[in-house]
Structure 1
Amino acid sequence: MGLSAISAAPTTLTAWALTTGEAGMRTQARGLAQRVAGEVVEKTVSVRWPWSWFQAGWRGVLAGVEVKAGGPLAPPWPDLIVSCGRRSSIIAVALKQAAGGRPIIAHVQDPLTDPARFDLVVAMAHDPVQGPNVLRVLTALHDMTPERLAAGAVAWKPQFEHLPRPVVGVLLGGPTRGSDFDADEARALDARLAALHGKIGGSVVIVPSRRTPPAALAVFDAAAADNPASWVWDGAGDNPYVGVLALSDRLVVTGDSVSMVSEALATPHPVEVFAEDLRKRHAGFIDDLVDHGLVRIFDGEAHPPQPRPVVDATRDAAEVLRRLLAERA
């Protein structure tokens, strides 16, 4: 999706999604803004030194801002600014001051400053920020809307119709600060997938990400070469990620990706997490979901599906923002 204005919701409200350009931050800020406003413009910015060391509330920080994409930070001011990431939080506060307090500002993640400077802060359980305007959510925000899933189901249905059921959709991440997903872990995951397939049959559809190491991907490619019921996306053509989310019967997600686990939970399908060698922050996220009965740890067993609600933290945050905007109007 480009950085131009995009129509997203049946409303006349306008919004800026403000980040420093990291993919995960863009997805969260854009996803929340699109749920609320009819016109959303992504603003990608950077802050030069020494302004990058300023605390929120220093209006002078705008002198050190460079806009990378999305147009100038100037009137007409939007109704809503959604920021994600510490550096963009500083800019969001300065923009509200420059606009005479007009925009509602919402920040996703811990802003590492006084949350009272924002109208809403959306934080996950592991974030220490606290306050009456802090909305605590179980998962990351995202842009995997019901409409996007429905469109993915329509687009990919012809490719899924011939697959033996049940279809196990597997979403692969890669090494992060929270996990080492390497060839050894790929072999462990592949062994569990083979064990599950031996119990339930069906098909296994594997979608790697840009972070999946070639050595890990080679493990699944080799296994699929010997198993006609297994298929690995080779990176050619359209990415089947949304189709796999929409049309699988059960989902297996590597625990290194908070975003992928969060998006999987926005579907009605059972979600199991491959959670080997997760470090504290990622392990705490998965443990919290297990405690709430939302995911299982993937062990290769044919567990019966456990009933759970569709989890959509973006929807929940959007509802709060709509109330705030209605009160201001």
Structure 2
Amino acid sequence: MQLTIWRFLDGNCAHEKQSAALISGLRDCIGDTLDCYDIAPLTLFQLLRRGLPADLQQLPRPHFIVGAGHRSHWPMLLARRRFGGRSVVIMKPSLPLCWFDFAIIPEHDRPPALANVIVSQGALTEPLPAGPTVAGRGLILLGGPSKHFCWDGTKVQAVVEKLLQMPGDWIVSDSRRTPLGVLERLRGSGGKIFHWRDCPPDWLAEQLAQAERIWVTGDSISMLFEALQSRAQVGVIALPSRRRNNKVRAAVQRLLDQEMLVDALALEQGECIKAVPREPLAQQRLCARALLRRSGMVES
């Protein structure tokens, strides 16, 4: 099967990672017979003034037109109307779902049960680098305050210090949302400290792939799903919810109920001392397979 995909970018790195993950899943399903053409971000003003780029005429006609993020929506729809193909929007769009052929939406966004909706378990993430894990390697990733969670610095520090007392080679890193001073207060507790500003682009993926144990604060739902792309045991450090009805907290609880995560209470019971290898989540492959099946390109 020869598959041609036009991928509309929107300038947001997190969004573009999700569309890249879907392309990766499609390659896993059909092999190297896939051509993907990336199309630079377009504003609505540019579309109204100039229309779609003229060089799209030179590209092979698309089977799928893929995009993630608001800025990609109108260009995708206009390209589909003019050049054909099936539109595939990733994440819940700002436009009506019925305007798109397919939508891939995380379950924690509570997508409607429509025929064109493919439900993913979390945001799509690309596979991690291949290679063996490093014996004893542990990784702790810290988020920060968000619209869903308050930040309990005292609790986070206590859990992290307890983890750092466990045997192994521990690495601790923060993120853009981490409050100032959090990493500094952990110096001397053991482990190696890395500020996100000082890390090269591929650093995190390499650390996730090498770790036997990964712990993430509960506000970072995207980071939890990236960690689940590894073979490591993944734990979550819970944070206080800002409201009773919290879709991110519910998504984390489902992962705990499915025993895909462990929580900080397990530390008291000694359950996290030995890492248990598992298979990567690989949602990008499952969603790609569902997309091909619903499009009639593979058998059910």
Q: TM-score, normalised by structure 2?
A: 0.79
Match in the other structure for 1:174:
144
Q: Give the deviation of 1:284 after TM superposition.
A: 2.0
- Distance change (3 Å), C-alpha of 1:175 and 1:18: farther
Which gives a bigger RCO, structure 1 or 2 (Cα 8 Å, sep 6+)? 2
Q: Take 1:178 and 1:73, find their aligned partners in 2: how far apart are those partners?
A: 41
Instruction: String of CA shifts for 1:161-203, please: whole Å, max 9, x gaps.
Output: xxxx53221122233333344xx52x422321222343x3222
The amino acid across from 2:297 in the alignment is A
Q: Take 2:203 and 2:117, find their aligned partners in 1: how far apart are those partners?
A: 35
**1:245 paired to 2:171:** no
Match in the other structure for 1:130:
113
The structure 1 residue matched to 2:122, chosen from 139, 153, 164, is 139
**1:34 paired to 2:24:** yes
**1:82 paired to 2:48:** no
**1:196 paired to 2:163:** yes
Listed as ranges, the matches of 1:99-178 within 5 Å are 99=83, 101=84, 103-127=85-109, 128-143=111-126, 145=127, 148-150=128-130, 153=131, 166-178=136-148
- Distance change (3 Å), C-alpha of 1:87 and 1:15: same
- Distance change (3 Å), C-alpha of 1:34 and 1:81: farther
Match in the other structure for 1:326:
297
Match in the other structure for 1:288:
254
- Distance change (3 Å), C-alpha of 1:21 and 1:176: farther
Q: Take 2:235 and 2:51, find their aligned partners in 1: how far apart are those partners?
A: 42
Instruction: String of CA shifts for 1:255-274, please: whole Å, max 9, x gaps.
Output: 22222111111112111112
* Aligned Cα root-mean-square deviation (Å): 3.1
- Distance change (3 Å), C-alpha of 1:124 and 1:71: farther
Q: Take 1:41 and 1:176, find their aligned partners in 2: how far apart are those partners?
A: 35
The structure 1 residue matched to 2:181, chosen from 215, 239, 248, is 215
- Distance change (3 Å), C-alpha of 1:210 and 1:129: same
The amino acid across from 1:294 in the alignment is M
Listed as ranges, the matches of 1:2-41 within 5 Å are 12-36=2-26, 38-41=34-37
Q: Take 2:112 and 2:54, find their aligned partners in 1: how far apart are those partners?
A: 31
Q: Give the deviation of 1:316 after TM superposition.
A: 0.7
Q: Take 1:12 and 1:210, find their aligned partners in 2: how far apart are those partners?
A: 41
Q: What SS does structure 2 have at the residue aligned with 1:149?
A: coil
Q: Take 2:204 and 2:225, find their aligned partners in 1: how far apart are those partners?
A: 14
- Distance change (3 Å), C-alpha of 1:211 and 1:72: farther
- Distance change (3 Å), C-alpha of 1:125 and 1:35: closer
Match in the other structure for 2:31:
none
Q: What SS does structure 1 have at the residue aligned with 2:181?
A: helix
Contact 2:231 2:277 in 1 (8 A): no
Q: Give the deviation of 1:288 after TM superposition.
A: 2.0
The structure 1 residue matched to 2:43, chosen from 43, 47, 56, is 47
| Number of equivalenced pairs | 281
Contact 1:294 1:308 in 2 (8 A): no
Q: Which segment is superposed worse, 246-255 or 301-310?
A: 301-310
List alignment gaps of at least 5 residues for structure 2.
Answer: 28-33
- Distance change (3 Å), C-alpha of 1:303 and 1:72: farther
Q: Give the deviation of 1:307 after TM superposition.
A: 7.4
Q: Give the deviation of 1:129 after TM superposition.
A: 3.0
Q: TM-score, normalised by structure 1?
A: 0.73
Q: What SS does structure 1 have at the residue aligned with 2:175?
A: coil
Q: Give the deviation of 1:34 after TM superposition.
A: 3.2
- Distance change (3 Å), C-alpha of 1:204 and 1:176: same
